[in-house]
Structure 1
Amino acid sequence: MNANLTVKEMKTWVRVVGGSVCSPKGFTAGGLHCGIKRKRRDLGWIYCNVPANSTAVYTTNLFQAAPLKVTQESIGSNGKLQGIIVNSGNANSITGDEGLQNAYMMRKSFANQTGLEEEDVAVVSTGVIGEQLPIKKLLNGIDQVICIGDNNNAAEFEEAILTTDTFTKNECVQIKIKDKVITIGGAAKGSGMIHPNMATMLGFITTDVHIEQKALEKALKSVTTQTFNMITVDGDTSTNDMVIVMASGLAHNELLHEDDPDYHLFVEGLQEVSLSLAKQIARDGEGATKLIEVTVEGTLTEQDAQRISKTIVGSSLVKTAIFGEDANWGRIVSAIGYSGIALDPDLISVSIGSIKVVEKGLPYGFSEEEAKNYLSNEEIQISVQIGVGNEKATAWGCDLSYDYVRINASYRT
C-alpha cells in the first residue's frame, strides 16, 4: 500500500482515503483557468508516463459532440491513451465542422505540449451546447501546461471539469492480485441533464493494473450497466459525456485477462469506484437536497428490475414528494405501473425506509408522522418487492427542488 495514504479495509478492496486519479502508478493531473469561465478553473488534464491500455463508454444521444468523435478515433487507433485534455464551460456540441476541427486542434496542441502522438490523446468538453469553443483561449491555456509529469494535483483537475456541480467527486480503492497491489482512482463531474445510459456526466478512471485491452473494455461495460447507467437526475440525456479508463500496467502484475481467476477482483474494484462516483453525481443533482436509492427485488430478470427502479427514481412526482417529505406512495406505485414491465399488482409491496406502505397490492397502515420524520433525512431508501422472480437491481437519483428550476432557467446567463 502507498505509505502516504491511509486505508480502510472492506471486502476484497480497500478504500484509499485521500486517493485520486493520481494515486495509481504513472499518472499525474492538473488544472488551470484559461478564460472560458469568469474565474474558476476550466481546463484540466490527465497524463500517463507510458501508453496505457484504454477504453471508454459514450452517451447514447444521437447528437454526439465533436470531442467524443475525436476520442473514439484516438482509442480506436490502437486501444491506448497517454493523455486526456478536458475543458468545461463549453460543450463544443452541435458546432459542425468548425467544432470538429477545434477538437482536433485541442488534441494536436496537447500532444505537442506533452511530446505525445496525437492518437494517444483524448479530448473531452462539457458545458453550454451550440456555441463554438473560444479556441484561442484554449490553445493559450494548453501552452501553460508545464512540468506535466510532475504535476500531481488531482484537486485542480477535479475542479477544472465542473459545470453546475456543487462539489468535486473522487474515489480510490486498492486491491491485491497475487503479490501485487493494484490501485484504481477516479474523478467525475455531473449535476444536471443526468439520465441512464450516459448523460451530462464525465468519468475518468485510472489504474496501474496490467490488463488486456479487451478485458478492460469488457470490465467497464459490465460495471457501467450497474453504476453510471443506474442514475438519473432529470431524465435528460446529453450530447457529450463519457467514462474513460486508462490502465498503465505499472503495478507489474501478470497480464490480466478475462479468463484469469483474479479478473473478478479487478472488476470488483472498478465497480466500487464507479458506484461511488455515480452516487456522488446523483447526490449532487442540481438543486438536490436528498439522495434517493430505489431497490427493486423479485423480478424475472435483472433488466426488469433495472427498468422499474429507474422509472421510480426518475419520476418527477416521486422526486417532488420526497422533496416535500410527503410519503405519497401512490406516486411510487404509479411509476411501477407505467414502467412497461409485465407484473401482477396484487403481489406488489413497497417500503419507504423501514416503513411498509403497501403490502400485496393494498395500502398498509403506517404513521404519517414517522414517515415524514424519515423523509427529513438526506438519504432516502425505497424498497419494492415485485413477487414474481429472484432478480433485483438498484437505481439512484435525487429529489426535485425549487432550485432545479432556478439553476436551469438561468444556465446560459
Structure 2
Amino acid sequence: MTTLLIHDTTRPWTSTDPALDVSVGSRALFGRQITVNRLRYDGGAPAAADFLPGNPIDLTDWEELGLWVRADTPADGTRARPFYLALSYADAQDTPGEEHRWFIPVNAAHGWEQCPIGIGADRRARIVKFRLETVGGIPFAVELYRLRAVREEMLKDVEQALTDALSGMTPPGLTGVPLRAGAAPGDSAVQTAHTPGLAPGNRILLRGSPSGDEEHDVDRVEQDPAGDRTRLTLAASSPVRGTFPAGDSSVSVVVPVAFGTAAALPGAATPRVEVSTTDVREDPDRTGCVAQRDSFRPRGPLTLCTVRPPARAYTADYRITAVGQGAGQQTWVHNEVLTRLAADRPLWINDAPAPVRMLPPPCRDEREGQEPVPVRVHLRVGSHMQTGPREALPWVRRTEVRAGRPDTAGDDEGMAPRP
C-alpha cells in the first residue's frame, strides 16, 4: 500500500468546543516512540475537531484512509458499546446533502488498532476539510496517530520501507566538514577543510543554504594538506543551486540506497547500498481465514460496513550489498546494514511493523571476479496484500438462532439477524 501522509499528528487538530480538548503527546507504538493527537471529551453537547489542508487534496487515485487508534473505551456499535467518534471529510465538489462520514471502531480498550476506511466509492478529488466529531455525547479519551491515504502496491511499499530503514548513513569522519569558501549558484566545485577521506564517487550533502540542502555526486577530488583544503569537483550535470556561505555551511558524505545491481547502476555513488529482489512468494501460513470488516457508516436507520476477503500474506527476499571505498569503509556499511535490519527491529511499512529475518546465502552468490569482494546480506520481509474488493453490507449487530423440539406443535425454528 503506497501512502500519502495527510496529517502527521505532530500538530493538534483544531477543536470547535472547549468540551473536546485536543493536545499533542508522546506514546510508544510497538517499541517506537511516536507523536500523537490526544482527544479528551467530557460529554454532553456535540463537539468536533477540524483539520484544513493548505490546498485541496486530490485522493482520486487512493482507495482508503487509515490511522492508528488507541482509546479508553471500546466501541463496536452495539447498545452496550456504541460508537462515540466519527471521521468525515468535505469535498469542494460535493452536492447538497452529500456526506463522507464513518464511525471509528475500538475493539479493545488501551491497545493500538489500525482503522482502515474505504473511500473508493466516494467523491474525493478536492477535499478541503477533515473532521473528527463526537457521537452520542459519550465521554472518551482517544489517541490518534497519522492520518494517511492508502493505495495497494505491496512491493513498492516494501522497497520504500527498506530505503527508509537504510537511509541516513554517514561514514565516520565525513560528517559536517566545514566549507572553506562559499559556494554560489552555478558553481561546479566546492572547497572544504582538508579531509583525506573524501574521494571521487562520493555523494555529498551540502547544508547551510537558506534555500535548503542539496545532494551532489563528486567527480574529482584535489587534496591540499598545506592549505588545509580539499576541492570537490561536482558532476557536470549537478552544479550548485543555492548559496552556501563559508563557516555556516558543511559537507557530509551520504550512503545512498539503490535498487538494482552494480551492472544496472553505471556511475553509482560510493559508498552505497544496493538492494536486489531475489524472490517473492505467497506465505499461506500467515494468511488469515476471516473476512475483514471495516468502514462503518450511517445510512438512514441502518449502519453499513464493508466486507472483503482476508489480506494475503507474502514473503519478499532481497540481496543487500554493501559497497565502500576500501575494505574498512565497506565493513562499516555492512555493520550499519546489520544493525538497522536486525530481527528485533521490525521494518515499518506504512506505519505498520513487518517481520524481517536474515537468510543464509544461496549456493552460488556470484562473488567471483569482483574486487573488492562484495559484502552481502540476504533478507526476508513478511508483508500482506489485499486481493479482493470491498462490498458494502448492512452491519448485523445481533443474530438469534431458535430451534424447537421435534414434537413441538408449532414451527418454532428460524434465524433472526438484526441490523
TM-score range, shorter chain: under 0.3
The structure whose RCO (Cα within 8 Å, separation 6+) is larger is: 1
Higher strand share: 2
TM-score normalized with structure 2 length: 0.23
TM-score normalized with structure 1 length: 0.23
Higher helix share: 1
Larger Rg: 2
